[in-house]
Structure 1
Amino acid sequence: MKPLRQSLALGPLGMMLLVVSGCSINPQPLTQAEMDEFAADKQSRMISDEQVPVTQSIDLYEAIARALKYNLDHRLEVADRRLRNAEFEEAEVDMLPELVAKANWSDRNNDPFSTSITEEGSLENSLASTSADPGSTSGSLELTWDILDFGLSYYRAKQAGDKFFIAEEQRRSTVNRLLEDVRTAYWRTVAAERHLDELKRLERRTQNALEAARQQVRQGEGGRLEALRYQREMLDTLKTAKELRRDLFVAKNQLAALMNLPQGQEFSVVMPRHPELQTPITTLSPEAMTEAALRNRPEMREVAYRLRINKQEEKATVLEMLPSIRGYLGANFDTNDFLVNQNWTGWGARVSWDLMSLAQYPARQQAVEYQGKLLDARALALTQSIATQVYVAHKRFTSLQDEVEIAEEYHETSQRIFAQARNEYEAGFGSQREMVREQLKAILASLRFDATYAEMQGAFANVHAAMGLNAYDGEMSGQESLKEIEAALRDLWRERGDMVQTSRSTSATRVTG
């Protein structure tokens, strides 16, 4: 009670301070229980119940279709696109006139009598009178339209529309990156399922051969230098095998994450052949590819939209400096019995002008001008970056094509050498050490071939992404079924030169991811 008595003693100012202090807020951090509930909710909803379950081996284009439909990064971009569309529709509604309904009720404990005085200060009438009821109800329905607000709303709606297009370009960029990641992860998963068991056997054989070489060095049997060289060779083989195993081991987990499958869920991938990639796009000149990229890349289109938004902001800044003219038309009523006309229609116009906007205009105009220069500089920097990316993507893909051919030939040659060394050993002409050496080289050659092929598949998608070409049918709404998306993707990329042929099998070996 003491703070209240002190506040009352200070009068109205004290009461005001008391009210303000009572309205203060003391922020509280989230409790551990609240965070536990929040995290549990998000974890339970991470995998949607609407996801089509995996019932057969997944091929490349089903994997991409699952990523487009279920990947959380892509769903985030889709949600942002929907938000921008809703903001655009809201901005369009802002251009409409305002229709405001008002209702007022008032009452008092006595009549509102009043008297009046003359200019000289004497009472005009000693009898008090009134022209209003002690209590009354009034209301109105008023249609107003501000010409200045309409102009501003028009440009804001155009800006909101461009922000929607920016969200769509950002979604395109996410899809292109997603497709490249899925393509690479899929082929690395194929390599992993083909070779992980073999890679484990390779490591065991290398360890055995390495231990034998160490034993020979310790005991001083045979040529010591030759044994040390063999030991070094086995260590190199073991190091390479472990590096390949490390990269391949996580490929399936990466593919599962891209498709938004739970980590640890069992699934298998279709084991296709290694098709050649017939790529008509790479027959274009670097200049033509760069020109196409500058027209199509989501990043460039985004900057172009932002520049258009900035130009609209420049016009909106001029409008905000002008006076506001608001016309109104309204129907009114009042229950005051002393009024002769209790219902009436009113109309008119109101003009207001914020003169401070004139002083603010130069600074706002300068900010808009600098924003335009910044966006133009960003576009120039992007032009150089995109031209470099197109050139590098093209060179990387063609280089990897050559590397795949060499890796395939190296793999086939290593297999023939191993077969010959094994035949000689079994016939009693060759050494076991030589046979083990060639067997390890053949296995590593096969692993390197698959790893290089997976990298080339990623580079194939990267060429199209560097040029800004859609990774999916631009007419797709996202509401299509998984099968429809898969079929559309397969047709599109077949036209682009992907000759991959896959055959599914529901009885394929299932491996834990």
Structure 2
Amino acid sequence: MNQYKTQHPRKEENPLSNAISRLVQPGPKRLVSVLAATAMLGGCAIQPVATTLAERQAELPDQRQAMFQNQEALAGPVTLEEAMARALKYNLDGRLKLMEEAMAQRQLDLSRWDMLPRLTADAGYAWRSNELASSSRDVVTGQQSLVPSTSSERSHYNGDLNLSWNVLDFGVSYYTARQQADRVLVMSERRRKVVHLMMQQVRQAYWQAVGAQQLEAKVEPILKLTQAALDDSQRIEKERLQSPLETLNYQRQLLDILRQLEAVRDELAQAKPRLASIMNVPPGDDYTLAAPTGFSLPKLPVAADKMEETALVNRPELVEAGYNERIGLDETKKALAKLLPGVTFQLGANFDTDNFLVNNAWNNIGLRMSWNLLNLLNAGNIRAAADAQYEVAKQQRLALNMAVLTQVHVAYRGYIGYKRAFELSGKMNDVDQRILTHTQNATRSDATGKLAEIRAGASAVMSELRLYQAYGALQNASGQMMATLGLDPLPTAVGGYDLPTLRAAIAEHEKTLVEPPKQAQ
């Protein structure tokens, strides 16, 4: 007998195809397997995916368009009122705070719904692979007493609509909604603070940019004149027409003037982009500022003896601290409410398609009370933690009061100092301008050298620059004083939020904050 049996060639099997064929076979077990495999594969498929350089570059045009879209183009010279109006309407930081305030309002709308009863709709389908059968056993003999029977179909539909209301949840949701309402007010005060700081920055940046625009045409001629004198001196040095030491000293003075003028030009070139960023104008765009007819000294709207009271009443930080104190108090009440028992009222309508049921549709009503008794043991700690949070909020408010009082006095002293500095800069500028006039007249009569004219011209330009810088610092100190007192840059009621309306409102408000103007020197 042949020990080797003839074997028929076997068809080569593909493990993957066999697994797939088993999964796709009909039946609930196969369906469960498919769903489980899909869920596992889906969970493993999530991996970190970094954005590529090409993707980031492709997003740039859309981001730039989003930054400056829906904005009115600049038309004509920009006034201070125009700059303030554009900052209020288009500044991205201000728009961000406005959106955060709107988001807080939406969260308040959501929290109000938490106080309503729960209305739950539920529907489903049930299927099992065999009968839901049961039998009975005699407890004395241990023998089966009844044949197995069933009272449920293998497949049926069911659904219910339940209305439930928990008194404890209502109380907690009520205090949560009150806290959220105060948070809306907190976001409003934070937006006010951003507006105050923004208006302060606009004042300083605007007058620095005005100074840059006014002096731009004066710096270039002196730079050219200084460079020409330096070239002549270097030619004289090569030809040995003067003493080397005298020539080098002359060149050193010219280079020192040239260095100062270059620093002034670089500083002037940065002024307009700073103002453009506050107005949300593309920094590379060129624009013109309205030339001032004089320097109007700012006037404080509040007497010195009323400043402390005004700041304590109006400062956004202190108003926000008051709201935070109310939030802390509601947190204490909410913590105490959680210690109470919860009473739940329930009302529902139900249906089931199971044919074994005598009544396929029914209504139900219920009342249930639950109480976490362990919370009673921890009641002291819960209340102590809530009270501590409230006390912290109160102490924060007191600390802010002291900080605000200090800021009021520091800002007021700074304002007085900058006002004196501006008046002194005006007198110095007047003297330097007259020196330049006399020097130019003497140069035409050949009574003095070119170096004296260059030096006088450079001194006059830098003196005028210091005048604009001093005025910008004074305006900044005035804006800081307004922000320290918590006074808004707009009237209480504004007819609209478009640029013309904002400009008119700001211009009307600014009239009350200036002294009679002095003519420009």
State the Cα deviation string for residues 43-92 of structure 1 (Å, max 9, x = none): 332211x1111222211111111111111111111111110000011111
The answer for unaligned runs of 5 or more in structure 1 is: 6-14, 502-513
Q: Percent identity?
A: 30
2:371 matches 1:331: no
Cα pair distance change 1:95/1:403, threshold 3 Å: same
Counterpart CA distance in 2 for 1:247 and 1:209 is 24
SS of the aligned residue for 1:266 comes to coil
SS of the aligned residue for 1:132 comes to coil
Return the match for 2:191 from 165, 171, 188.
Answer: 171
SS of the aligned residue for 2:343 comes to strand
Correspondence for 1:507? none
Correspondence for 1:105? 125
2:427 matches 1:409: yes
SS of the aligned residue for 1:116 comes to strand
SS of the aligned residue for 1:281 comes to coil
Counterpart CA distance in 2 for 1:262 and 1:313 is 46
SS of the aligned residue for 1:348 comes to strand
Counterpart CA distance in 1 for 2:449 and 2:67 is 57
SS of the aligned residue for 1:46 comes to helix
State the Cα deviation string for residues 75-134 of structure 1 (Å, max 9, x = none): 111111110000011111111111111223324465544333344255685344444344
Correspondence for 1:483? 500
Counterpart CA distance in 2 for 1:173 and 1:121 is 85
Q: Look up the equivalent residue of 1:436 and give its one-letter code.
A: I
- The offset of 1:171, in angstroms, is 0.7
2:59 matches 1:42: no
Q: Map of 1:309-324 to 2, 5 A cutoff?
A: 309-324=327-342
Cα pair distance change 1:137/1:29, threshold 3 Å: closer
Cα pair distance change 1:27/1:140, threshold 3 Å: same
Counterpart CA distance in 2 for 1:214 and 1:320 is 89
State the Cα deviation string for residues 370-429 of structure 1 (Å, max 9, x = none): 444444443344333322322222222222222222222222222222222322333344
Correspondence for 1:427? 445
Counterpart CA distance in 2 for 1:92 and 1:463 is 40
- The offset of 1:226, in angstroms, is 11
Cα pair distance change 1:366/1:35, threshold 3 Å: farther
Correspondence for 1:155? 175
SS of the aligned residue for 1:126 comes to strand
Counterpart CA distance in 1 for 2:212 and 2:296 is 20
- The offset of 1:234, in angstroms, is 4.6
Counterpart CA distance in 2 for 1:363 and 1:205 is 80
SS of the aligned residue for 1:52 comes to coil
Return the match for 1:182 from 194, 198, 202.
Answer: 202
Return the match for 2:76 from 56, 69, 72.
Answer: 56
Q: Which moved more, 1:383-392 or 1:153-162?
A: 383-392
Return the match for 2:511 from 494, 500, 510.
Answer: 494
Correspondence for 2:99? 79
Cα pair distance change 1:24/1:364, threshold 3 Å: farther
Correspondence for 2:24? none
Return the match for 2:478 from 441, 448, 460.
Answer: 460
Correspondence for 2:110? 90
Correspondence for 1:440? 458
Counterpart CA distance in 2 for 1:128 and 1:394 is 95
Q: Map of 1:468-479 to 2, 5 A cutoff?
A: 468-476=486-494
SS of the aligned residue for 2:354 comes to coil
Correspondence for 1:295? 313
Q: Look up the equivalent residue of 1:140 and give its one-letter code.
A: D
Cα pair distance change 1:21/1:102, threshold 3 Å: closer
Q: Is the 8 A contact 2:108 2:177 kept in 1?
A: yes
SS of the aligned residue for 2:284 comes to coil
- The offset of 1:292, in angstroms, is 1.4
State the Cα deviation string for residues 143-187 of structure 1 (Å, max 9, x = none): 110111101101111111111111111111111111111121111
Cα pair distance change 1:107/1:396, threshold 3 Å: same
Counterpart CA distance in 2 for 1:78 and 1:262 is 21
State the Cα deviation string for residues 11-42 of structure 1 (Å, max 9, x = none): xxxx9x99997545654141314444444532
The answer for unaligned runs of 5 or more in structure 2 is: 1-14, 20-32
Q: Is the 8 A contact 1:183 1:457 kept in 2?
A: yes
Q: Is the 8 A contact 1:72 1:260 kept in 2?
A: yes
- The offset of 1:440, in angstroms, is 2.5
2:400 matches 1:379: no
Counterpart CA distance in 1 for 2:308 and 2:235 is 60
Counterpart CA distance in 2 for 1:244 and 1:374 is 50
Correspondence for 2:160? 140
Cα pair distance change 1:242/1:299, threshold 3 Å: farther
Q: Look up the equivalent residue of 2:411 and give its one-letter code.
A: A
Return the match for 2:221 from 197, 201, 209.
Answer: 201
Counterpart CA distance in 2 for 1:418 and 1:281 is 39
Counterpart CA distance in 2 for 1:110 and 1:432 is 113
Q: Is the 8 A contact 1:282 1:394 kept in 2?
A: no
Q: TM-score, normalised by structure 2?
A: 0.82
Cα pair distance change 1:336/1:20, threshold 3 Å: closer
Q: Is the 8 A contact 1:298 1:468 kept in 2?
A: yes
Correspondence for 1:348? 366
SS of the aligned residue for 1:115 comes to strand
Q: Which moved more, 1:72-81 or 1:112-121?
A: 112-121
Q: Is the 8 A contact 2:341 2:371 kept in 1?
A: yes
The structure that has the greater radius of gyration is: 2
Counterpart CA distance in 1 for 2:225 and 2:130 is 107
Cα pair distance change 1:57/1:373, threshold 3 Å: same
Q: Is the 8 A contact 1:216 1:222 kept in 2?
A: no
Q: Which moved more, 1:120-129 or 1:318-327?
A: 120-129
Q: Is the 8 A contact 1:139 1:332 kept in 2?
A: yes
Correspondence for 1:508? none
Aligned-residue CA RMSD (Å): 3.4
Counterpart CA distance in 2 for 1:314 and 1:121 is 63
Q: Look up the equivalent residue of 1:438 and give its one-letter code.
A: A
Counterpart CA distance in 2 for 1:500 and 1:54 is 27
Q: Is the 8 A contact 1:217 1:224 kept in 2?
A: no
SS of the aligned residue for 1:279 comes to coil
